[in-house]
A and B are shown apart, each in its own frame.
Chain A
């Protein structure tokens, strides 16, 4: 099978579904420019024209409402944002309008809309170009929140989102765009709301998503050399949350570390911790541990940024403390960075 990148997988899902469904259109600030949203929209303008692939004024809130209005009128809009941070300007339309349309109309209106947003990191992105905020959106009933880790899942989940009848926030970590793996050429879906065991293990469960799944796999690999068997649960969708897969894994291992690429307080890691406490209390051999961004704005300068982001090393240390292990020597371990890109495979 041929290998394609995560960015290519998103692109392929969009192109394939746009061929099948004329109601799909892709729009957003910079969509048809020469960069094509990090290449994820390559070829769409040429194939589908300006009516289905177009630029917009800089008004995220109104253009979100525009998508809602088009969606309730029978279209399938895909609204693209090059940074998640810009979605904060659209919270009124997302939270007051998009998420309530179906409920507030007794099901007579539906919002089959995809909101794509990309998480920035590294090379001085700073505190306004680096947020993920997935738990903001997951807090709201009526929105689905998807954040794929692998190219295979990116294509399958994007295809599913384009066939979904609820507004779906689709969050892509910029560093994952480079990842490559074998992805089927034909169209397929990955179900929204289903987690995936990215690596099987017996000693401790890491529940994670998006970029932190890559860091978790690195940590699992390092720890495996010491005979520690880590299970990595990649949530893929955080709303609806696949509680059953989380609970089954933790019931097996007895330990749970929630590793999130976002702030910890009130966030995804905290939600996982609550779910595990409620459903696996009797099986837990230690309290659930949480790991995430430092609870500060994201600094621009690299040496502080390195302190801000959790990485595989931080995960290893946390696991060691949970399992009462001596610290592993990590001095020679490889760490991903903006320059040393992660390219897969998983």
Chain B
């Protein structure tokens, strides 16, 4: 492990305004490496939870969560490793839940598809496409009723655009003028079904612009651009008292569910995935920080610290106890 004197360089980064860029990189690297740890340990078959990997899609979750800050309460999907870690950075809770241990937030009753840590800003995740959108709208109503400085944000894939709950939620949020940010992580695929088979319109953003919500689209892996743009979108939405819809074009590197590549299946273009990998969000952010003059040592130190945290989380999860059989019956009716 590389040892670096962090104290000297942290002051440097703050002085040069690197703080946001560095915290973005930390989140990106944490998510990518946590998923790399899943790739390493999943074959041991101790994490018995269907894995819908975020790999390739990290920039959206991180950029949006940076823009939301502490006031953001997020709702997500079965593919929410990135959103969960971007919002909470709680890698211990993450692995404990994936391993199904008593130390997990839901003691393994939720697993990978139902990550939830409300005290740290991740309210819940659903494995039924589109099902968290209405919850985000209702939560926004609650925040407004209680005059709380919170914003609700819901992440969903482009498959959710096909669901009635999407249109109903947008409509309701517009009618009630609620502070919800709808974030569509558009990776083109609903499992293996492409948009030609699903969309009766050309551009979802154009359609959304006909409603009373602000609607924007981005096609980038640049986390800082996403953070800045989203921050601006949230400000505008708050000013105008409307919900906001943000479509983020992205690429799912791996198969729909599981830890492998599925390019050999031939249903999507390998060249396109390669073009996304060439502008990988984690690598790009690292290069940018280096180009800005951030010392390599700072990055290496940060990476070493993150990797250590991940390994510690995996080890702690493996060593933690699984729930007792009696736990099956607790918590059905609080």
- Measuring CB to CB, which residues of chain A are less than 8 angstroms from any residue of chain B? 23, 25, 51, 56-57, 59, 61-75, 77, 92-93, 96-97, 101-110, 141-142, 144, 165-166, 240
Alpha-carbon gap, A63 to B168, bound state (A): 8
Question: Counting CB contacts under 8 A, is B217 at the interface?
Answer: no
Asked whether B104 lies within 8 Å of A66 as measured between CB atoms, the reply is: no
Residue of B nearest to A166 (CB): B333
Q: How far is the CB of B154 from chain A (nearest CB, A)?
A: 9
Instruction: Tell me the smallest distance from the CB of B110 to a CB of chain A, in Å.
Output: 5
Known A-B contacts A96-B131, A165-B334; the reply to A72 vs B172 at CB < 8 A is no
Q: Specify which of A61, A73, A103, A104 is in contact with B138 (CB 8 Å cutoff).
A: A73
Q: How far is the CA of A66 from the CA of B75 in the complex (A)?
A: 13
Contact status B138-A97, CB under 8 Å: no
Whole-angstrom CA separation of A156 from B5 in the bound complex: 67
A108-B109 Cα distance, complex, nearest whole Å: 12
- Given A96-B126, A105-B116, A142-B332, answer yes or no on A62-B133 (Cβ-Cβ < 8 Å): yes
* A68-B110 in contact (CB<8A): no
Chain B positions 293 through 334: 1 when the CB is less than 8 Å from some CB of chain A, otherwise 0: 000000000000000000000000000000000000011111
Q: Is the CB of B138 within 8 A of A106?
A: no
Do the beta carbons of B333 and A73 come within 8 Å of each other? Answer: no
Count A-B pairs with CB separation below 8 Å.
148
Quick check: B134 and A66 within 8 Å, CB to CB?
yes
* Other 15 A-B pairs with CB < 8 A, given A62-B137, A72-B139, A75-B138: A25-B145, A57-B168, A59-B171, A62-B165, A62-B172, A63-B134, A66-B135, A70-B141, A75-B146, A92-B131, A103-B331, A104-B109, A104-B116, A105-B116, A166-B333
B164 within 8 A of A: yes
Number of B positions contacting A (CB below 8 A): 45
Confirm or deny: B67 has a beta carbon within 8 angstroms of a beta carbon on chain A.
no
Which of A72, A73, A92, A102 has the most chain B CB atoms closer than 10 A to its own CB? A73
Residues of B within 8 A of A (CB): 73, 75, 104-107, 109-110, 114, 116-119, 123-124, 126, 128, 131-143, 145-146, 152, 164-165, 168-169, 171-172, 175, 330-334
Which has the most chain A C-beta neighbours within 10 Å: B124, B128, B132? Answer: B124
Least distance between A157 CB and chain B CB atoms (Å): 16
Q: Is the CB of B109 within 8 A of A69?
A: no
Q: Flag if B123 contacts A72 (CB, 8 Å).
A: yes
Note all chain A residues with C-beta closer than 8 A to B165. 61-62, 65, 92
A68–B135 touching, CB < 8 Å: yes
A69 with B334: CB separation less than 8 A? no
Contact residues in A for B133 (Cβ distance below 8 Å):
62, 65
Q: What would 24 A/B residue contacts be, using CB atoms closer than 8 Å?
A: A25-B145, A57-B172, A57-B175, A61-B134, A66-B141, A67-B138, A69-B139, A70-B142, A72-B135, A73-B73, A73-B138, A73-B143, A75-B141, A75-B145, A93-B134, A102-B333, A104-B106, A104-B109, A104-B110, A105-B106, A106-B107, A106-B116, A107-B330, A166-B334
Q: Say whether A66 contacts B107, CB under 8 Å.
A: no
Say yes or no: B116 contacts A108, CB within 8 Å. yes
Q: Which residues of chain B have C-beta atoms less than 8 A from A72's C-beta?
A: 118, 123-124, 135, 139
